[in-house]
Amino acid sequence: MTITSSTSFKIGCYTVIPEDHSVQIEHGDIELLQPKFIEVLAYLAQNYPNLVSRDELIENIWGGNSYVGEKALTNAIWHIRQKLHQNGDEFIQTVRKGGYRLVHQPHYLSKEQLVGVKSSQLSEQLTEPFSESRSEQAESEGANHHHASIDHGVKQLGWRLTTLALVIVIALSWSYTYWHSRPSAVPQITALTSLPGRAIYPATSPDGRYLVYYWKQANRAPDLYLKDLSQPSLAPEQLTFDTDRESKPVWGKLGKVIYFVQKSWQKDRCHIVKLDLQTKGQTKLASCKPQVNGALSISNNGQLLAFNGIDPDNADVGIYLLDLTTENARPERISCRTDCEYSDRDAVFSPDDRLLAFTRRAQPYEEDIFLFDRINKQAERLTTGQTDIHGMAWHPSGQHIVYSAEIANQRDGYAIDIKTKEVSKLNVPGFSFPSFISNSSRVVYHDWQLNSFIGSLSLAEQVLSVPFPILQSRFNYKDVDFSEQRQQITYVSNESGHNEIWLAEGDGTNRKQLTNLAKNVSVPRWSHQGDKIAFLVRDKASARNAIYVIDIKTKQVNRISSRLTSFGTPSWMLDDRSLLVEAFDEASEQAKLYQMTLDGQAKVLIEVEASYAVQSLADDIWYSVDDQGLYRLSIKDSANQIASSLETEQAELMISAEQLASDYSWLVNGDSIYYLQNFANHQEVVLLDLISNRKQTLLKMPLRTVNRNTPLSINQRQKQLIFSQSQSINVDIKMLEHPLLNQYE
């Protein structure tokens, strides 16, 4: 017998008939499924007992359309599982990062066997309702009571029609109740705001009626706002009225107060604040760290706040707990205290308040979720190899954590089982900073979908201009670097589905993909001769960054092996034979600035934790230090020879941390420095003349137009400053009802 995708088969107590799009249970009902659902089931049956990847299913069922297929496949698997269940057994097994396989062996049916199955089912359906009437009809004919039989038949017919009508009414009533009360079978997304600017960090009140959020409008300082969800036509109520940044609001247990993070734009102060909704009075409860993204969570009993910060005894960012039941309580640090190799950043309480999920960043491009047991004080890793976590929320069941992760520059939602550590993708692009509505599996989030493009700002124009796009599409382009020698740009793009290194002409034409690593790559940097590119790759096994170098001529990609670990953004020394890079030395347990050859030999150049450093043509080393600023240090001694050792005491602070948007968004070019600076309502590209010490604003833009970590590059021949920036779009708050989250209840 030839087996095809339309061949019927039995699996357990079910008969699957693809040509009818039906699933039939033995001695039971026939259920109809959508054609695509049947196709998925038939494809898994054809490949039994092999594992079938999601990509293979999408390729064969949806023609390789991953945009539609990702969501549709998840929906199909969910529906099939609802239909196929026998004594609690699963018929489809999910293998993490592998795909799906059938648990039970399918038995294919010949045409004769299928006819027999259908005939048997039809006989069972027809025999019972009509057997009694046929028997009575025979008795009536045998007794020769013709008129009595007619009367009796009429009565029987009337009784049957009445019964049939009653059954139909009951069935329709049940069907209406079932379909209108059951959880949604497909993700349902509802917009809660439609505002100019960016509405982010949503949180609903304990009774679910009110929504508090952060709203940043153009040319205005951001503030907190309150929206009545029961009266959506009403304008939101403004809660804060100052030039500070208020964010990450959470509700008190009774819904009468709101707690939030308040920072100054000068990055010189940060506080955890309580706001009384009736009096609008504010009370400062604790200090936090203004240089990092604030985090805030409240326990479900309303007695504890968790936030990130530092204190005089602990310089590394960590998680603190503040007892709200004790007046003037001092925050208790639960993170590492000294010589930490990481920073704990965000935290959220479990429904029973025993566990605390928190995110930990050990590398600039790596962040993962850990679980902290407040009773035994032990921490457990849940995820490995995530890039950026943008918010978490505990599912009310307490067994899953829903979070936002950014992969290849695209945010999406994920749910992780805290016991099995199995991760399921929600397939909700833009999903960020989720928060569950009380006593439900519905979640509110803000929809963050910002594509970045590469643009150039003319430095020669007499007329003011905006950056002109070099590369712009529905994909993301970032970390651009220009080679003066080759007149080409290298950059990172997710066009292939992963972040990879690409090459293009200076005007964006003739694009070529240089790597196919399917890993998280970042910050490609040209050698001065333009024959090599150094870049970072995060290693999932060690959760650390490694340095790779690609030869442009041979296209060969090599990893630099070194005793050092945890590398920062590299740059090339002037001779192109070595790299200048911050790295961590496990022997000394310290991070320092190293000069490292391409075969991995390294020597300490400066005893400093420099985030990023370059060697200028004037033989100066320029380096940035977190929370301090940009320094210049000459590598020549008084005799104009290369110094044997460099001391930070001789370094000169050129730009303070308050002026720099980040440690990476600056460029030294001869006697000039270009850098990005953030202000309360906007950001600027600034030129500092090192001869006259005069500053000039080259470009003024809305805040977040340019990511604060964006590196700057220059095309000397065309007199262009090149960098990546985001398309200006609105961000709104939405509510999600998802079948995956519904089934966790």
What would be the CATH architecture of the domain defined by 9-109? Answer: Orthogonal Bundle (1.10)
Q: Where are the domains of the chain?
A: 9-109, 113-181, 188-449+731-742, 452-726
b/e sequence 699-712, b meaning 16+ C-beta within 10 Å? bebbbbbbbbbbbb
pLDDT of residue 4: 78
H/E segment holding residue 150:
helix 146-181
What is the Cα–Cα distance from 556 to 576, expressed in whole angstroms?
17
CA dist., res. 454 & res. 465, Å (int): 16
pLDDT in tens, 238-289: 999 988 999 999 999 999 999 999 998 877 899 999 999 999 999 999 998 8
Report the pLDDT value the prediction gives residue 185, as an integer from 0 to 100.
60
Asked whether the beta carbons of 474 and 452 are under 8 A apart, the reply is: no
H-helix or E-strand spanning residue 742 = helix 739-742
Topology match between the domains 9-109 and 188-449+731-742: no
Q: Which residue(s) pair with 314 in the sheet? A: 311
In the block, which residue shows the tokens 């010949």?
110
Q: Which fold has domain 452-726?
A: Neuraminidase (2.120.10)
The C-alpha atoms of residue 347 and residue 376 are separated, in whole angstroms, by 18
> For residues 100 and 53, what is the distance between their CA atoms, to the nearest angstrom?
6
For residue 510, count CB atoms less than 10 angstroms from its CB and return exposed for 0-12, middle for 13-18, buried for 19 or more. Answer: exposed
Rounded (5°) CA angle 24-26-32: 10
Give the pLDDT confidence of 215-232 residue by residue, as tens digits.
998 778 889 999 999 998
> Hey, which CATH number is domain 188-449+731-742, 3.40.50.1820, 1.10.287.3510, 2.70.98.10, 2.120.10.30?
2.120.10.30
Q: Which helix (H) or strand (E) holds 157?
A: helix 146-181
Contact 46, 56 (CB under 8 A): no
Tokens read off for 627 = 């929370």
Contact of 496 with 513, CB cutoff 8 Å? yes
Question: What residue has token string 């379909």?
Answer: 179
Amino acid 383 reads: T
Distances (CA, A) of 497 to 255, 293, 520, 705: 43, 28, 11, 24
Would you state the structure tokens that stand for residue 63, as one six-digit string? 């023609």
Residues listed for the chain:
745
Give the integer Cα–Cα distance in Å for 359 and 125: 58
pLDDT digits (tens, 9 = 90+) for 689-707: 999 999 999 999 888 889 8
Ordered strands of the 400-407 beta sheet: 388-394, 400-407, 410-417, 423-425
Q: How far apart are CA 209 and CA 216, in angstroms?
A: 23
Question: In order along the chain (745 residues), what is the average pLDDT of each group of 10 residues?
Answer: 81 86 76 84 89 87 71 83 73 82 87 65 42 38 43 50 48 39 68 92 96 89 93 93 93 97 87 96 92 90 93 80 94 86 91 96 81 93 88 96 91 95 94 95 94 92 81 92 98 92 96 92 96 90 84 95 90 96 85 94 91 90 92 76 70 93 95 93 93 94 87 96 86 95 84
Cα 455 → chain centroid = 25
